Amino acid sequence: MTDHTSSYAPSNGLEKWLDDRLPIIRFSKEHLMDYPTPKNLNYWWTFGGILAVMLGIQIITGIVLAMHYTPEATLAFNSVELIKRDVAGGRIIQAVHSTGASMFFVAVYIHIFRGLYFGSYKAPREVLWMLGVLILLLMMAAAFFGYVLPWGQMSFWAATVITNIFASIPFVGDPLLQLLRGGFAVGNPTLNRFFSLHYLTPFIIAAVVVLHIWALHVPGNNNPVGVDVKSSRDTVPFHPYYTMKDAFGIVVFLIPYAWLVFFTPDILGHSSNYIMANPLVTPPEIVPEWYFLPFYAILRSIDFPLLFIDSKLLGVIFFGGSILILFFVPWLDRSRVRSGNFRPLFRPFYWLFVLNFLMLMYLGSQSTTIWWVPVLGKVGVVYYFAYFLIILPLLPRFEVTRPLPASISESVLRPART
Amino acid sequence: MIHNKNILAAVLGALLLTGAAPVLAQTAATPSAPGTAPAATAPAPKAAASPSSDNANTASGGGTATAAVNLGESEIELQPWSFSGIFGRYDQNQLRRGFQVFKEVCSSCHSADLLSFRNLDEEGGPEFSAAQVKALAATYTIADPDAKGGKRPGLPSDRWPSPFPTEKDARDANGGALPPDWSVLAKARGAERPLLAWMRDIVAGYQEGGPDYVHALMNGYHATVPAGITNADGTPFKLPDGKYYNDYFPGHSIGMPPPLSDGLVKYAPGADGTTVPETVDQYSRDVAAFMMWLAEPGLDGRKEAGFRVIIFLLLFAVLMWLVKRRIWSNVEGH
């Protein structure tokens, strides 16, 4: 796909002059317009564009919010309220940003699960996938730092609980904990450094996104049938076909987003975060934001020690492992067929994995005092890891895959019933 | 020409439409007419069987045996607020009555640090006239080190004065309990909703758990501990000295004495002579509405903007879809 010849011809002297020195217009034409894209991409593929827009929205609203926000422990809580009350448009900007974090995660989870179904992580797209996992990790960090900034009760106690996780790492745990908190307990220094890091992370994300897109444009897009592009008949230029399709997807995505912003801006949060942070009062329940719940459920489900590892450290190992394992998916899945559409045995396991992820999300929101929460949690943890460590590697030994179409064009003209 | 790929769009569209239906029905039941008689806000039909203190007792009877520490959220009854749902708007008369209750009763212990007098004449609030607000502010004395004698009459730009100079004073005057600040209190209360109810709330645009809780709390007092109440471990519940029993307060023992009683606040009749009942139930609805406005003063404007934005996005999406379809029409297989 990289061998397509450039169709760019400078249209005037100035463009020619610039093209000889910095061929940025040529680059844009090649990569944003002419880039040959498989013509069978479905709407699940629009989430890449949606995510780029979400990053833009978060950065722009975030920069404006930072102009009015005060990162100081006694002032932070009220400064967020004053943004909503006294800053022109502040109420909307704040809601777009706080709700935007949730919508960002909605989109990224759909994007990841799309990749898992259609085998988008398989050769030659391993680096593309790993950069994506790195973006997920950075997004989680950004979201966590951001959630602490309003300095409500849930902000404060989430910061306490999450930083505490690092304390269980052997040897370096305690110094690391103090470095993260800027002291022995969460306080003003914690807020200051989290604000600084919250401002930094999105720009690191943007840089990794550039690498992610670069790594996409080298092998080109995967597609729903998972067959490589064989001729120019299989592709259409990115512009106007996919700019238009993505733009439509983005506008549709903005509708539920706007619904949350304007009609229920607080419904994704916790009421205790409208109480100013108080180190002396622990809220009855400390629950992370919904997008962390599956991983939080994994952390909590490990309530037993193993050999010389105590339960706390073991929980952290599983918690970290549940995300880090994604880096190895390209090598864990041994099937040569990419798309789940042609893998009859893979599909039920995949959908069970989706259900399992949603179940863990639900369990993460429930109190562990209910007897079935830790029980189902353990079942969920076992399936989560078994999917990656047992099912994906071993399935190809038993699976008879369906015949692949000869080309993308063929699959488009004569759609196979799946 | 309908592709199965458009299912996504159809689902989202359907979500929007179903969201509107229950709320449409709800709005019809609570017409809000600013500037007319106070009776306009008289609670909608559901409240006809509304809890006096005794009814509140039976309403919560199911849960009294179980939770002594944390009460299940399902026991708090949802109320027909004029401002709930996507079409919901504050009722100016109700906000004025709620403000009256706050000013005459609640503000003797509770502060409202983020409230400025000027907010009271802003759009979407109680909408008193600027002159009324100026006169009201002037009745308060504001500590100001720059003024002669360290004190001066209040101005519309001043914040609502706190009833106690320090937290310690507030605790000393209230048996060790701190009356919470009211600025965002209505959004800081309200139990988490079960998953399905929560999803319904998103579609219906309902996030009034805080006012529901305030209303329940005001109607949940008992003069004596009801029979049969036990702690989580089964031992009989004992009310600590200086505390009051409330069905809805976590742990049941609340430091705040029952603040409202029937006839406590005198509501002026409306211009056309209509009146609003002077009952605890009515007071608590009015003051909960006022608290919600205090916590969310821009609710009306936010929802109005929401309609413009979402209608725009819907039309824009249709246009984008048509353009997309046109562009893709020359690709074989599409």
Q: What is the pLDDT of residue A306?
A: 86
Q: What is the mean pLDDT of residues B85-94?
A: 94
Residue of B313, B314, B315 for testing the chain A interface, max A β-carbons within 10 Å = B313
Domain locations in chain B? 4-115+160-297, 116-159, 305-334
Residue B168 CA to residue B173 CA, distance in Å, equals: 9
> Quick one: pLDDT band at residue A369, thresholds 50, 70, 90?
confident
pLDDT of B43 higher than 80: no
- Is residue B50 predicted with pLDDT exceeding 60? no
Q: How many C-beta neighbours within 10 Å does residue A146 have?
A: 25
B298/A85 touch (CB, cutoff 8 Å), yes or no: yes
Taking each continuous run of H as one helix and of E as one strand, the counts in chain A are 17, 2
Higher per-residue pLDDT: A418 or A13: A13
What pLDDT score was predicted for residue B73?
A: 35
Answer whether residue A368 shows pLDDT above 90: no
- Chain B neighbors of A232, CB-CB under 8 A: none
Residue A264 has its nearest CB partner, among B184, B201, B324, at B201
Dump pLDDT digits (tens) for B10-36.
444 444 444 444 433 333 333 333 333
pLDDT tens readout for residues A169-215: 888 999 999 999 999 999 999 999 999 999 999 999 999 999 999 99
Query: Which member of B16, B210, B324 has the closest CB to residue A271?
Result: B210
CA distances from A120 to A336, A388, A409, B298 (A): 12, 15, 19, 45
Closest partner CB to A272 (pick from B180, B188, B198):
B188
Lowest mean pLDDT among A12-16, A137-141, A336-340, B69-73: B69-73
For residue A78, the distance in angstroms to the closest alpha carbon of chain B comes to 8
Verify whether the Cβ–Cβ distance B302 to A84 is below 8 Å.
no
A270 and B298 within 8 Å at the Cβ level: the answer is no
* Model pLDDT, residue B27: 37
Q: How far apart are the C-alpha atoms of A23 and A29, rounded to whole Å?
A: 10
* Averaged pLDDT, A228-253: 95
Query: Across all residues in chain A, what is the average pLDDT?
Result: 94
3-state helix, strand, coil in chain B (%, to 5): 50, 5, 45
Q: How many CB atoms lie within 10 A of CB B65?
A: 10
Element containing residue A110 per DSSP (H, E): helix A90-118
Peptide bond just before B38 cis, omega within 30 deg: no
For the segment A376-380, the average pLDDT, to the nearest whole number, is: 96
What whole-number distance in Å separates Cα of residue A371 and Cα of residue B53?
Answer: 36
Q: Calculate mean pLDDT across residues B278-295.
A: 96
**Domain ranges, ordered by start, for chain A:** 37-413
Q: Which of A272-276, B193-197, B224-228 has the highest mean pLDDT?
A: A272-276
First-residue to last-residue Cα distance in chain B = 9
* Residue range A78-91, pLDDT digits in tens: 999 999 999 999 99
Query: Is A312:A168 a contact under the CB 8 Å cutoff?
Result: yes
Q: How confident is the model at residue A415 (pLDDT cuts 50, 70, 90)?
A: low
| Chain A residue closest in CA terms to B190 | A271
| Assembly ipTM | 0.91
Give the integer Cα–Cα distance in Å for B202 and B19: 8
DSSP 8-state assignment for residue B142? E
B316 → closest Cβ in A91, A241, A251: A251
pLDDT tens-digit readout, B154-192: 999 999 999 999 999 999 999 889 999 999 999 999 867
Q: What is the pLDDT of residue B56?
A: 32
- When scoring B3, B116, B302, B315 by the number of chain A Cβ atoms within 10 A, the one with the most, hence best to mutate, is B302
CB pairs under 8 A between A and B: 126
Instruction: Using an 8 Å CB-CB cutoff, list chain B residues near A264.
Output: 201-202, 205-207
Mean pLDDT of B210-218: 94
Contacts with A263 from chain B: Cβ below 8 Å: 86, 205, 303, 306
What do you get for the CA distance between the two ends of chain A, in Å? 28
Best B193, B310, B318, B322 member to test A by mutation, with max A CBs in 10 Å, is: B310
pLDDT tens by residue, A308-333? 888 889 999 999 999 999 999 999 99
CA B33 to chain A, closest CA, distance in angstroms equals 21
Across the interface, do B16 and A255 touch by the CB < 8 Å criterion? yes
Q: Tokens 């009859």, residue?
A: A344
| β-strand partners of B245 | B222, B253
Contact yes or no for B306 and A261 at CB 8 A: yes
Q: Topology of B4-115+160-297 in CATH?
A: Cytochrome Bc1 Complex; Chain D, domain 2 (1.10.760)
Contact call for B192 and A256, based on CB within 8 A: no
Calpha distance A193→A215 (Å, rounded) = 32
Specify the pLDDT at position B334. Answer: 63
Q: Using a CB-CB distance cutoff of 8 angstroms, which residues of chain B are in contact with residue A241?
A: 327-328, 331
CATH (residue range A37-413): 1.20.810.10
Mean pLDDT of B309-330: 96
Summarize the confidence of residues B95-120 as an average pLDDT: 96
Name the token pair of A289: 């934001």
| Cα B30 to Cα B32: distance, rounded to the nearest angstrom | 6
What is the rounded (10 degree) CA torsion for A13, A14, A19, A22? 160
Would you say residue B57 has pLDDT above 50?
no
From A33, A49, A242, select the one nearest B331 (Cα to Cα): A242
- Does residue B150 have a pLDDT over 70? yes
Least confidently predicted of A262-266, A297-301, A331-335, B8-12: B8-12
The CA-based diameter of chain A, rounded to the nearest angstrom, is: 75
